[in-house]
Amino acid sequence: MNLAGYVLRRCTISIFLLVALTFVTFVLYDLTPIDPACVVAGCDIGRPLDPEQKKLIYEAIGVDQPLTTQYVDWVKGVARGDLGLAWQGLLIDPDGGLFGTSVKDAIIPAMWRSLSIVLGGLVLLLALVIPIAALAASRPGSWFDRVTATLLLIGISTHPLVVGLILQSVSRAWPVVPWGGYCSIRTPEFDGPPVTSGAGPTLEPCYGIQNWAWHLLLPWITFAVFFAALYVRVLRTTLIDVLDEPYISVARAKGASETRVMHRHALRNAMRPILTMTGMEAGMAISVLLYIEVVFGIPGLGRLSLTAFSGEVGYDRPMILAIVLFIGMAIIGLNLVVDLLYPVIDRRVGVGQERKRLVVGPAA
Amino acid sequence: MGRLTRRSCGAIVTGERPSASRPGRSTAKTLCLLDFRYRSAIAIQQAEPAVAATEAPPDRPGSRLLWTRFKRDRLAVASGIFLIVLIASIAIGPPVLERVLGHGPNDPFPYAVDTYLKPVGPLSRVPDLNTSFSNDPFDLGEPPPGTPTTLFVLGGDGPLGRDMFQRLLVGGRISLEVAFGASLLAVLIGMILGGIAGYFGGLLDSGISRLTDFIMAFPLLLLLILLGSTVGNQLTFVTLGGLLQPGVVSLILLIGLFAWFYPARIVRAEVAALKEREFVESARMIGAGEWRILRTHIFPHVLPVLLAYSSFLVASVILMEAGLSFLNVGIRLPTASWGTLLTAAWGTYRNPQPYNPQSMTIWMTLLPTLAILVAAVGWTLFGEGVRRALAPRTTR
């Protein structure tokens, strides 16, 4: 199958999936007993909104329309790149004009912050996993292998919350590394005001790549440590299998050094399950992100979704839909990238071939 | 005689070196039936798609062999003993400690915190007084001379000055109740649905499998948060007649209803492999019904695998409870659980406490965190021990 056709077909399927996902969210939201007028104007228990006012709000945000019309309007907006205004804190002019926070302006900076945690964490993860797994697999049963096996069992039963809180409380007691907050890479004017949160120590504006990396060090370590145990375990088992293969003997017989055998022949072929896991763990990564962002006070996608989904500021439909859309796109996009990477690391696999699914470890 | 796996069996059939065979990629599924009584290997080669060959080998050791292997594994036995100690100390610890130390887990001690509300550290003695002798809220005043003191084994838990050790034990009870309840619910649902999917196959199987695939790819935590903050609120005060603390039932239901996918997959794979075995065929031949075959012939083989998995599940539910309570959708304050104990140091998500080095100690975060970690590691090691006893060769 040719590459362009495959990508096109996958993208078409993805669009249908996203439509289904957001429509289900729409219907579920409609089924929950939430009054949109209360999200906009706030309802106190003793002081219900007056029906006149309610009607005005319904008309302004369009919830008096039938559900399908509302959905089609939302999809049209998304197609134009407009995710709408958040219901929370929306101001309505007497002549029907709307003023409020744009969902897009809230979600896109949050997404970049989350992405910088995930990407940095992923780099650190690979830097941690590959040497450890290679060393353990090259001598199965050695003391290094046994020590890592025990450490892995402990690592598998940790939680991002546990790792994050231990790291944070240690760095609070001995302040070497900042224990929270986020500094943007770019200059503050571009990325909104400098972000400080309830838990972060960065009270003065901070930006620049150095500050950014320094403040994200602990979140990256937390992310990497949580996934490292699972990945080392899988990579080690695969490597032991691969090192048994005849082509490894051939490489050794040709006189290739052990380093070359490991790098050129074994690791390359053992990366496939790791890639599969990366695709499957996308949903898990969102949960991990949520805990990391809460512990380290980083206002990213995880915290945004926590506030939206726990009804912190009212169940804000445009925000919930935008988050569902972004997370869905992230998961689908990641899986597409993973599928496209298979032929790159393993020449025997063609584009779009069915990959082997595997289930590893407990569900955290 | 070594245990034959599908891999080494394939080597016998094809006459290859065991390491040279590639079970996942061969187009011919090699099914190896081993009859231990006659010590003869009968290999049957069937033309089957490659996918089927990657399923777990269905030969599992019997319960006696399992126990012998488990006993030999020092790490597994140690974790088993640790779990017994953990459960025993959580069950009988609080009343015993209350009698020995003379104070309960919910008694506040104003003298256990200093003027900045910083709780005392581990192993300190605190004046046994529930009131202060001063009208000034910022100064407690000296306790009268000769006041008896009481021991705080792990120090105080926060601004209220309660005993951290006792609260850890009481909180552990809630955490373990949630973990056992949710795991039991998940394993039950998973066993029934996975068993049906694996045994009957066909449309039911593909329906259940697609459903689990779909839901496993979705970030479940968000759904749990949504449900926990809407439906969970209404279930919070269901306590089964005071048997359980508020919030426990709602968390058991929430976690249990979303954790059955993994056990369902495992049971499905096991049952699908087992139903092809000759003893099932023999049972069917002498006229046993489907239900009887499932119950008396297949289920006992699945049980040890489920035991290993349930132990992993308990570990992950302990972690999940802590996470959800930390995010304020699980157990609510003032009930102590390992998750809510963390919030004493950190504040809840809705009401975060800015870090104040004068009023916080590292113990407030470290001790509940370590309790969660140690309990989860104990359950994981136990599950790993059972797994190793089930299939000693796979761990290498």
Tens digits of per-residue pLDDT, A159-201? Answer: 888 888 888 888 877 777 777 777 777 665 544 444 444 344 4
Which amino acid is it at A250? V
**pLDDT above 70: residue B315:** yes
Contact at CB, A162 and B75, closer than 8 angstroms = no
Q: Is B391 helix (H, G, I), strand (E, B) or coil?
A: coil
Cis amide leading into A140 (omega within 30): no
Q: Kindly state the tokens that stand for A100.
A: 């409020």
Q: Where are the beta strands (DSSP E) in chain B?
A: 28-35, 40-47, 124-127, 149-152
Contact at CB, B354 and A198, closer than 8 angstroms = yes
Band of pLDDT at residue A284, cut at 50, 70 and 90: confident
Which amino acid is it at B276? E
Which of B218, B316, B352 has its CB closest to that of A283? B218
- Range with the lowest mean pLDDT among A152-156, A192-196, B99-103, B231-235? A192-196
Interatomic CA distance for residues A36 and A311, integer angstroms: 12
**pLDDT above 70: residue B348:** no
pLDDT of residue B130: 65
Band of pLDDT at residue B184, cut at 50, 70 and 90: very high
Dihedral over alpha carbons B117, B121, B122, B125 (to 10 degrees): -70
Q: How far is CA A49 from the centre of its chain?
A: 38
pLDDT of residue B1: 32
Q: What is the mean pLDDT of chain A?
A: 79
pLDDT of residue B183: 92
Q: Report which listed range, A192-196, A248-252, B60-64, B226-230, is most confident.
A: A248-252
**pLDDT above 80: residue A321:** yes
Band of pLDDT at residue B118, cut at 50, 70 and 90: confident
Judge whether A253 and A261 are in contact, CB under 8 Å. Answer: no
Judge whether B185 and B151 are in contact, CB under 8 Å. Answer: no
Which chain A residues are closer than 8 Å to B355 by Cβ?
Answer: 172, 179, 199, 201
Which chain A residues are closer than 8 Å to B328 by Cβ?
Answer: 310
pLDDT of residue B17: 36
Contact at CB, B226 and A310, closer than 8 angstroms = yes
Q: Which residue of A has its CA nearest to B219?
A: A283
Interface test with A, best of B55, B175, B218, B221 (most A CBs within 10 A): B221
**pLDDT above 80: residue B169:** yes
Which chain A residues are closer than 8 Å to B319 by Cβ?
Answer: 157-159, 161-162, 364
Band of pLDDT at residue A68, cut at 50, 70 and 90: confident
Judge whether A233 and A152 are in contact, CB under 8 Å. Answer: yes
Cβ of B251: how many Cβ atoms within 10 Å?
32
Dihedral over alpha carbons B165, B168, B173, B177 (to 10 degrees): -170
Judge whether A258 and A275 are in contact, CB under 8 Å. Answer: no
CA atoms within 13 A on the CB side of A134: 19
Judge whether B186 and B259 are in contact, CB under 8 Å. Answer: yes
Q: Which residue of B has its CA nearest to A281?
A: B217
Residue pLDDT, tens place only, B5-44 = 434 333 333 333 333 334 433 323 322 322 222 222 222 2
Which amino acid is it at B313? L
Which of A159, A166, A327 has its CB closest to that of B322? A159
Query: Kind and range of the H or E element at B204?
Result: helix B202-216
Fill in the DSSP letter of residue B149.
Answer: E
Q: Which residue of B has its CA nearest to A197?
A: B354
Band of pLDDT at residue B141, cut at 50, 70 and 90: low
Which chain A residues are closer than 8 Å to B354 by Cβ?
Answer: 198-199
Q: Is A312 helix (H, G, I), strand (E, B) or coil?
A: strand
Band of pLDDT at residue A220, cut at 50, 70 and 90: very high
Distance linking the first and last C-alpha atoms of chain A: 37
User: In chain A, which ranges are continuous DSSP H helix?
Assistant: 3-31, 36-41, 51-61, 67-79, 103-138, 143-156, 160-173, 209-243, 246-253, 258-260, 268-280, 282-296, 301-309, 317-345
Q: Kindly state the tokens that stand for A232.
A: 């080392």
**pLDDT above 80: residue B157:** no
**pLDDT above 90: residue A339:** no
Q: Which residue of B has its CA nearest to A328?
A: B218
Interatomic CA distance for residues A227 and A323, integer angstroms: 24
Judge if ipTM > 0.85: no
Residue pLDDT, tens place only, B198-208 = 888 778 888 87
Residue pLDDT, tens place only, B327-338 = 877 777 677 788
Q: What is the mean pLDDT of chain B?
A: 71
Which of B329, B342, B357 has its CB closest to that of A165? B342
Give the residue-averaged pLDDT of B187-196: 88
Interface test with A, best of B82, B225, B350, B379 (most A CBs within 10 A): B225
Interatomic CA distance for residues B83 and A204, integer angstroms: 48
Interatomic CA distance for residues A299 and A116, integer angstroms: 12
Cβ of A146: how many Cβ atoms within 10 Å?
12
Contact at CB, B319 and A154, closer than 8 angstroms = no
How large is the C-alpha radius of gyration of chain B? 27
pTM score? 0.77
Which chain A residues are closer than 8 Å to B312 by Cβ?
Answer: 361-362
Give the residue-averaged pLDDT of A142-168: 84
**pLDDT above 90: residue B185:** yes
Interatomic CA distance for residues B337 and B332, integer angstroms: 9
Contact at CB, B319 and A245, closer than 8 angstroms = no
Contact at CB, A291 and B329, closer than 8 angstroms = no
Q: Kindly state the tokens that stand for A241.
A: 């299998």
Judge whether B163 and B152 are in contact, CB under 8 Å. Answer: yes
User: Nearest-5° angle of CA B308, CA B311, CA A122?
Assistant: 100
Percent of chain B at pLDDT exceeding 90: 4
Which chain B residues are closer than 8 Å to A297 by Cβ?
Answer: 352
In the block, tokens 């999940």 appear at: B320
Which chain A residues are closer than 8 Å to B219 by Cβ?
Answer: 283-284, 286-287, 327
Residue pLDDT, tens place only, B43-74 = 222 222 333 334 444 456 677 777 888 878 88
Contact at CB, A331 and B266, closer than 8 angstroms = no
pLDDT of residue B134: 57
Which chain A residues are closer than 8 Å to B342 by Cβ?
Answer: 161, 165
Q: Kindly state the tokens that stand for A124.
A: 């650190």
